[in-house]
Amino acid sequence: MDFDKYLLRSEDEMDFLPIIPLNESDHEDQQGIEVPPEIALLPLRNTVLFPGIVLPITVGRDKSIKAVNDAYKGDKLIGVVAQKDSNVEDPAVGDLESVGTVAKVVKLIKMPDGGTTIIIQGKSRFRIDNVFEEDPYFKAKITKLDEEDSPKDADFDAYVANIKDLAADIVQLSPNIPSEASIILRNIENPAFLIHFVSSNLNTDIKDKQRLLELNQIRQRADLLMQLLQKELQFVELKNKVTHKTKTELDKQQREYFLQQQLKSIKEELGGDANIGEIKEMQKKAEAKKWPQAAKEMFNKGIEKLERMHPSTPDYSVVYNHLDLMLDLPWEEYTKDYYDLTKAKKTLDTDHYGMKKIKERILEYLAVLKLKGDMKSPILCFVGPPGIGKTSLGKSIAASIGRKYVRLSLGGLHDESEIRGHRKTYIGAMPGRILQSIRKVRSSNPVMILDEIDKVGSDFRGDPSSALLEVLDPEQNNSFYDNYLEMEYDLSKVLFIATANNIQNIQPALRDRLEIIDLSGYAVEEKVEIAKRHLLPKQKELHGLKSSSFRMSDKVIEKIIQDYTRESGVRELDRQLASIMRYQAKQLAMKGKLKTSLSVEDITKILGKPRYSNEIYKTANIAGVAVGLAWTYVGGDILFIETSLSDGKGDLKLTGNLGNVMKESASTALTYLQSNAKKLKLDNKLFEKKNIHIHVPEGAVPKDGPSAGITMMTSIASALTGKKVKPYMAMTGEITLRGQVLPVGGIKEKVLAAKRAGLKEIILCWQNEKDVQEIDSAYIKGISFHYVKTMNQVLELALA
């Protein structure tokens, strides 16, 4: 409520002398005032004048000043109406409300700044019938609205008493309204004047006040006023609650600040603040630290800066964290390498079965270290299918030479800041993953595994593989620069070992820095040994069967490998063994005992019917079908190539989701057969009258590469001659138009895939013989190899 507009205030707040109409007889006499039929109008912006109320008004508009002056010289009566929109500077007729109050200009005061202030008193309500003049000011024909007498019943008396109580409550809760206002309210006895007085002072929207003025029945006016008062009271109570809560919180903050200041003073008296203790602790650590001169100088500069800072400043934590990193990094701290080659070999053999090439390379590295005492660490990269133990091998290498081990997963990395770190001025900045790992292991010569280096992303945020060029170059990594550290760090003693599934996905410049060691898949015999030595004991322990004495024979394990898995690694085998252990655990829990050994029949019962079968190679033996060998990033695989002839014009059709190189191999094969038709005893007319359709099954899988060349040629020749390809025979090799067979890659994976599939003969290029010799002869027992130089030799062997 706005009672303070009408009550006496201190001189510095007073714009004018407020007038309080305490003589209610004035209000009773005003009904008898003679209201002229035509009157000048005074539009008010933010105010509604009620009958009996005295208002001081500052008049600013030229039109309004003229109207007031003319009225003051005449009968001193003027029609006061509210504007519909208070933002309108120069109102038109449509901007004025239709109901207003006839007011008497009690006093007109000319102000020193040229403005005019008038004191007016509302006399009677009126309605505008017609505005007949707009210049120099509004003049209108009006009709006086008579006030009805106040009802003399208990219901209305209750309304009046309630209005007084609500208004008094608002006055009491509002700190800006003087308490004298409640005395005025209690002394008003005329109900109509009370309603007008409270309505005028109500802190509500101008439209609500206008509604109060327009209501003819006093009972309706009292009802609406009471609703508005209730709303105002709720608002004041809520405002008080919020103010009190805010004040309480402010008081609490001021109290805490005061206590903090006192605490600070006490600490200074006792011998310094907490941050001084922190700085001294850092300096003490730095004195015992072995680090380069450049790092020492940078640290001392940072400490000097920190001493000048207040702990509450934002930069304090930035400088503190940077110095903390410098102290945590193992600048010249190295673990001692063990040069016992026999023990290292034993550790590698215990942890991993097979992998002779890698073990020899690690032992060579140790031998050089033993003789020379120091050398730049090689950057090794293990490439092979998933599940063959590339990552775990890194841990085994660390154990064999007595170094700390740390693994850095690069799969999906897309921001070079992850490698090089962020500028320390950024919010949430931190060093790169390389330095974080070094900090964690507290050694400057750990074995660091860069896992899945072929899966590093590259987009608009940066190219981490380019950032790795500096890390993985033995000539550069002795001065690796991290953006957060802001100085160089020596990584030359770190033994980096990268792992990858597909070397083609590694950036060429990065690939050039890596010493690639190919890891091919395991043979069945190797998998049996791995299962016995590592997988079975691990799964027994995981399933609470460590103390159980049941056994699995080599024959049973071999059955699981051949009938339930098709992989180069051993992950699927591990899962199948876990299924068997779960079944055994259930049997032990329910029956209290287990069979001493599992048979082949038990395996079928536990794992269900075999998922894979070699019978397919028997049933598929029809003319036009040849078996090829393929390499995939998960190891070797078998693929069928089918050729069918149909009547037509000699067109060649290729299906099975083939790549361009594979399509070209099919065209080369067909051209060779056409050009050598006489030698091969083929009918030339077949090529003109028959359409040739070559299909490679599993059409959803993309296939490409030149290694299926001789298989496609054999398939076409088989279809054209009607001769079947020898059963259990597979082949791989590239072909030329001159009839030569060229070597291809991935021989070990392909041969092992053929062995897994139960094939007995393989045709290869003579230059691939050296690759076969690298495979342990025990793993390829039962397979005959045919080494050929020409495509004629292939056909003689395959179609015999």
Task: Cite the active site residues.
Answer: 707, 750
Closest of 739, 785, 784 to residue 766, by C-alpha: 785
> What number of other Cβ atoms are within 10 A of residue 460's Cβ?
6
Closest CA to 205 of 80, 46, 3: 46
Indicate the angle between helix axes 791-798 and 709-721, nearest 10 degrees. Answer: 60
- Taking phi over 0 as left and psi of -120 to 50 as alpha, with beta for the rest, 554 belongs to alpha
Q: Residue 579 is which amino acid?
A: S
Instruction: Tokens for 183, please give them.
Output: 């005395």
User: Can the peptide bond before residue 151 be classed as cis, meaning omega within 30 degrees of 0?
Assistant: no
How far is residue 421's CA from residue 403's CA, in Å, rounded to a whole number?
A: 25
What is the C-alpha to C-alpha distance for residues 578 and 572, in angstroms, rounded to an integer?
Answer: 10
SS3 at position 5: helix
Q: Which residues pair with 107 in a beta bridge?
A: 119
DSSP string, 433-460: HHHHHHHHHT-SS-EEEEETGGG---BT
| 135: three-class secondary structure by DSSP | coil
- Local structure of 398: helix, strand or coil: helix
Distance CA 765, CA 742 (A): 6
User: Measured between alpha carbons, how far is residue 568 from residues 8, 389, 428, 698, 736 in Å?
Assistant: 98, 11, 43, 19, 31
CA proximity to 328, closest of 443, 491, 418, 481: 443
Residue 790 CB partners (closer than 8 Å, separation 6+): 739, 740, 741
Q: How, if at all, do strands 116-133 and 99-110 pair?
A: antiparallel
Strands (E), 148-306: none
Distance CA 269, CA 636 (A): 78
Cβ-count burial 661-679 (b if 16+ within 10 Å, e if not): ebeebbebbbebbeeebee
The token pair at 629 is 């060998």
CA distances from 2 to 10, 119, 189, 272, 769 (A): 16, 17, 21, 56, 105
* Nearest alpha-carbon partner for 640 in 658, 629, 627: 627
Residue 530: which H helix or E strand, with range?
Answer: helix 524-530
CA distances from 379 to 365, 470, 494, 496 (A): 11, 12, 9, 5
Identify whether the C-beta of residue 714 lies closer than 8 Å to the C-beta of residue 762.
Answer: no
Separation between Cα atoms, residue 592 and residue 582, nearest integer Å: 15
Q: What are the C-alpha distances in Å from 148 to residues 27, 54, 123, 152? A: 13, 21, 15, 12
* Joined tokens for residue 129: 């019938």
CB 456 within 8 A of CB 413: yes
Residue with tokens 């989701």: 657
Question: Distance from CA of residue 35 to its chain's centroid?
Answer: 76
